[in-house]
Amino acid sequence: VSHRRPLLCVPLPELPDVQSGDDLAGMLTSVAPADLSGGDVLVVAHKIVSKSEGRLRRMAEIEPGKRALALAAEHGKDARLVQAVLDESAELLRTRQGVLICVTRQGFVCANAGIDRSNTAAADELVLLPEDPDASARRIRGGIELALGVRPAVVISDSFGRAWRVGQTDVAIGAAGLTPLDSWQGRPDAYGRELRVTEIAVADAIAAAADLARTKDSREPAVLVRGLERYVTEADGPGAATLRRAREQDLFR
Amino acid sequence: VSHRRPLLCVPLPELPDVQSGDDLAGMLTSVAPADLSGGDVLVVAHKIVSKSEGRLRRMAEIEPGKRALALAAEHGKDARLVQAVLDESAELLRTRQGVLICVTRQGFVCANAGIDRSNTAAADELVLLPEDPDASARRIRGGIELALGVRPAVVISDSFGRAWRVGQTDVAIGAAGLTPLDSWQGRPDAYGRELRVTEIAVADAIAAAADLARTKDSREPAVLVRGLERYVTEADGPGAATLRRAREQDLFR
């Protein structure tokens, strides 16, 4: 249809359950296609990254404090979960309608500080966000390069809600080897004039595209994305931290 | 790599300049591949939809009122552009940092009420959002069916900024024949427990994926997306209006 290479998103085969301490890069390598290339992007659901890094808490071991107990009573939530959310948050932005919108310690704005209860082997286990998802992405990229000699870009994704849109979309919470933001500022458009849209959040769009290629009830936590060589960089680069809006640029905090 | 059909996004060939009154469905039909199918999704940049519908204004013909003059002076903007933004807005949410964040008359929250100056043939021409983008999507879908006898889903996209993330991503402002929101509420995950992520904004993810397949300086306003048959519906359905968060659900307005 076009002269350009199409965008292609293919889930990698299912992985076995990931445990704390597992070599995630090795596990991904074992299911990656033989023709994995340095121009590919590998999108990995944060949950298996968190698990491999031991970013887990058991509800039974959490002692809720005063604030957690009050918030839990007010919002009809489990006080131990609320305590875990507070422990992962730098700030609570909104606590209405039974939803806790947080600024996480990593600087992300999302519900429940990104803590997840689903898809975990133990019913009372909480999955936290990775401590430093850009560092996680760099480690995975490095591990893949060690094993296979190629350096695909790595994106770590999570599903975030949006302020003014219904439903979640996947965004990039970590990235390595990818231009996270494609800035068009100063570049002319097809008519040589100024563009209204000046910065495309490429890493977030990649995370959203990858999520379309799988279903949530599958165990396909990694998706291979092809056709984006123009955004893949040799250096690990600034990562997805670039996409966190700074507090002083935030009109809605 | 997987048993499932991969997600594929391919830009359709460049279109000639779209003019007010043009038969957009016919133009898209003429560049669509011969194997266009009823399970495909066609993502169309809103700008050519707006142009074909005559949703254009000339700066020279706009007389700014008092409020527009005051806002323009305060934010260093062209008062005629500000007047056009006010005319398209139901409400201004924020007017700081030279940015006008609006609720458009259609109910979208975005900068400058979605008005665009770029990629237009006349330097002083403004491109407004379609009056009713879901109706536009239905018309395009109907026109394609008339011409080719197949009913692919149609998504109309625009690039919106986000409250807490840097950069824009494409979202669906109109849709026909697509499940806009994939609700997982009540459905068990791979471990049979409750999911944190319960509603995926499928139409927005499709718009974002399609945008990755082209470059902003190209004249490729339409992208064919394949592999999403499970979201394509015979009925035109509720459209992208589903994805506009209702005021009473909005924690950040």
Judged by a CB distance cut-off of 8 A, whether residue B197 touches chain A is: yes
Instruction: Give me the pLDDT at residue A94, please.
Output: 86
Q: Which of B167, B171, B193 is closest, CB to CB, to A200?
A: B167
Q: Report, in angstroms and rounded to the nearest whole number, the Rg of chain B calculated over CA atoms.
A: 19
Q: What is the mean pLDDT of residues B12-16?
A: 92
B247, B253 in Cβ contact below 8 A? yes
Residue in chain A nearest B14 by alpha carbon: A2
Judged by a CB distance cut-off of 8 A, whether residue A253 touches chain B is: yes
Nearest to A87 by CA among A64, A117, A121, A110: A64
A102, A112 in Cβ contact below 8 A? yes
Each of the 253 residues of chain A gets a pLDDT tens digit; together they read 444 679 999 999 989 989 999 999 999 999 999 999 999 999 999 999 999 999 999 999 999 999 999 999 998 889 999 999 999 999 999 887 678 999 999 999 999 999 987 556 667 899 999 999 999 999 999 999 999 999 999 999 999 999 899 999 999 999 999 999 998 766 655 555 454 567 899 999 999 999 999 876 667 889 999 999 999 999 999 999 999 988 777 777 6
d(C-alpha B108, C-alpha A34), whole Å: 45
The alpha-helical segments, DSSP class H, found in chain B are 24-31, 46-52, 66-75, 79-88, 133-148, 202-212
Q: Which residues of A touch B97 (CB under 8 A)?
A: 249, 251
- Strands of the sheet with A101-104, listed across from one edge: A89-94, A101-104, A109-111
d(C-alpha B244, C-alpha B188), whole Å: 26
Residue in chain A nearest B191 by alpha carbon: A119
d(C-alpha B122, C-alpha B19), whole Å: 12
Nearest to A240 by CA among A150, A124, A104, A138: A138
DSSP A81-134: HHHHHHHHEEEEEE--TT--EEEETTS-EEEGGG-B-TT-SSTTEEEPPPSSHH
B192, B79 in Cβ contact below 8 A? no
Query: In whole numbers, what is the pLDDT of chain B averaged over residues?
Result: 90
A143, A126 in Cβ contact below 8 A? no
pLDDT tens by residue, B144-166: 999 999 999 999 999 999 989 99
Q: How confident is the model at residue B121 (pLDDT cuts 50, 70, 90)?
A: low
d(C-alpha A156, C-alpha A177), whole Å: 12
Judged by a CB distance cut-off of 8 A, whether residue A252 touches chain B is: yes
Judged by a CB distance cut-off of 8 A, whether residue B7 touches chain A is: yes
Judged by a CB distance cut-off of 8 A, whether residue B171 touches chain A is: yes
Residue B241 main-chain phi, psi, to 5 deg: -55, -30
Residue in chain B nearest A111 by alpha carbon: B196
Residue in chain B nearest A99 by alpha carbon: B251
State the count of interchain CB pairs (< 8 A) between A and B: 272
Contact B199 A12 (CB under 8 A): no
DSSP B101-127: EEEETTS-EEEGGG-B-TT-SSTTEEE
d(C-alpha B184, C-alpha A216), whole Å: 8
Q: Which residues of B touch A33 (CB under 8 A)?
A: 1
Contact B164 A166 (CB under 8 A): no
Residue in chain A nearest B216 by alpha carbon: A189
